[in-house]
Amino acid sequence: MPASLQEVKRRIESTKKTGQITGAMQMVSTAKLSQIQKHAVSYQVYAQKIRSVITHLAKSHLLDSAATGESETSQDGKINTLGMLKQRPVKKTGVVVITSDRGLVGSYNSNVIKQTMSLVNSGERNKDNVVILAIGGTGADFFKKRGYEVGYEYRGVKDIPTFREVQPIVNAIVTMYSNGQYDELYVCYSHFVNTLTSAFRAEKMLPISAENMGSDDFNTPDENGLMADYETEPSQDAILEVVLPQYAESLVYGAILDAKTSEHASSSTAMKSATDNAKDLIASLELQYNRARQSAITTEITEITGAQAALE
């Protein structure tokens, strides 16, 4: 067999093996996507409830009155979660960016990083007054290489993240805010729309206020002309100490869960595209191989016929 035919045959075999690998990876990503979507659907019920509670508290001005507290750290040294309500002059901005730890996810990471860079460089923000909190190795490595301050990084988020896994992340974020390492915090991630589509989101997480809760108007009466009001027991602060951490955890966990769903969808789509490309390449190489083989056979027949004619 001619050397050119052998080379084409090797490329066909190699591409077939690559296609088998990407096909298997597509099946794995699709299975993970199906699993995490079930978790996301059930979690959305809880997230909507806790958001509804905080919305009602904001509408009753309970958050506004609690935010007037002076201290952010309790006497026993623990974090006072009421500090999450305190508005401060913005000297430094914290940005949580959620990416994957690996590649093979199409444009998932590049889209998140590109949009996050737009946020980081908007207004008066720059490298000197922005702190990056990276969840995922791709984002951490990107901002480190470009000289940004990475104040916190978390790698190795599970394919199906658990609520317990997020709690230390939230504690670290709130501690940094309470210690004054930044004065406002945004969470940037890729929102899952459907298997083929995702949308970038940047949500303001801290400080918690009525303005960044996503409601049109917290100060208007309801249909009966009544304003929301609460009588709290045992105390206003005691209730907020329980509710506010749950709200912060719901935001971060919801963002990570949403981002992971988008990551699996992007991975599944990218591997499907790679598998389809492998099939197209194999078809092209097989056509090239058959044509070269046919040409070689034709050449051999011509040579044999010519030699026979010369002998006669």
Predicted confidence pLDDT, tens digits, the chain (312 residues): 555 788 888 999 999 999 999 999 999 999 999 889 888 888 888 888 887 777 777 666 566 555 555 444 444 444 556 667 777 888 899 999 999 998 888 889 999 999 999 999 888 888 888 999 999 999 999 999 999 999 999 998 888 888 888 888 888 888 888 888 888 899 999 998 888 888 999 988 888 776 655 554 444 554 555 555 666 677 677 777 777 778 888 888 888 999 999 999 999 999 999 999 999 999 999 888 888 888 778 877 877 777 777 776
Q: Delimit the domains of the chain by residue range.
A: 60-218+229-265
Contact 210, 218 (CB under 8 A): yes
Give me the sheet containing 197-206, strands edge to edge.
149-154, 130-135, 93-98, 184-194, 197-206
60-218+229-265 homologous superfamily: ATP synthase, F1 complex, gamma subunit (3.40.1380.10)
pLDDT at residue 273, rounded to an integer: 92
* Both tokens assigned to 230: 């609460």
Report the C-alpha gap between 235 and 42 in whole angstroms.
Answer: 31
Contact 66, 230 (CB under 8 A): no
> How buried is 240 (Cβ within 10 angstroms: 0-12 exposed, 13-18 middle, 19+ buried)?
buried
State the number of CA atoms in the 13 A half-sphere of 119 facing the CB: 24
Place of tokens 């901002």: 143
Contact 107, 273 (CB under 8 A): no
Report the C-alpha gap between 208 and 58 in whole angstroms.
Answer: 9
Contact 17, 278 (CB under 8 A): no
* Both tokens assigned to 225: 């002309």
Alpha-helical segments (H) within the chain: 3-59, 62-66, 108-120, 137-145, 163-178, 236-311
Rg (CA), the chain: 29
Report the C-alpha gap between 33 and 159 in whole angstroms.
Answer: 9
**What pTM, to 2 d.p., does this model score?**
0.80
